Amino acid sequence: MMRVSFTQVYTKVGVDFPFSWKLQKYLRDQISAVVKSSAKLEAMGAPEELAFYISARSGIQSTDVRGPAVSKRLKTVEFSLFLPFSEAARTEAFPEKPLRELLAGVREVLAVLEIDTTSYDKICPRIVAYVISNKAEFTDYNS
């Protein structure tokens, strides 16, 4: 099992999603439970953590994946996921559309790292359904 973490970093005022810290923790717990290392990842210095930095960007149609940044000292491999932002996605379709984009970006990274995505693909529909049914817990419109 590989530790997976999520952190939100938004660089433009008003271009963000109201994902709460509880969502980050839920994603960490669920995805860490099914992600295992790969030979490609081990070749990067046997990292202990796969870190995802979530951000948003206007003017893109799909998730823009950047990385990897490798820290052998911290034993991390980091990727930035820039989710497509529109005011409609932030309100009307939230949290489903940006959450699906986020999960697709994570899957893209796992595939690039040659990590088996079988278990990941199985849990994604459950993650989306659970988050949508518990929307109030996983969103923070006060930030």
d(CA 112, CA 122): 19
- Please give the sequence-ordered ranges of beta strands (E in DSSP) within the chain, or none if there are none: 3-8, 49-58, 64-71, 76-85
pLDDT digits (tens, 9 = 90+) for 93-122: 677 889 999 999 999 999 999 999 999 999
pLDDT digits (tens, 9 = 90+) for 35-58: 999 999 999 988 999 999 999 999
Q: Pairing relation of β-strands 76-85 and 64-71?
A: antiparallel
Instruction: Quickly state the pLDDT bin for 7 (edges 50, 70, 90).
Output: very high
Element (H, E) at 118: helix 118-133
For 64-87, what is the mean pLDDT? 93
Region of poorest pLDDT, from 32-36, 66-70, 89-93 = 89-93
Instruction: Quickly state the pLDDT bin for 143 (edges 50, 70, 90).
Output: very low
Instruction: Quickly state the pLDDT bin for 92 (edges 50, 70, 90).
Output: low
d(CA 77, CA 72): 8
Could you tell me the pTM of the whole model?
A: 0.93
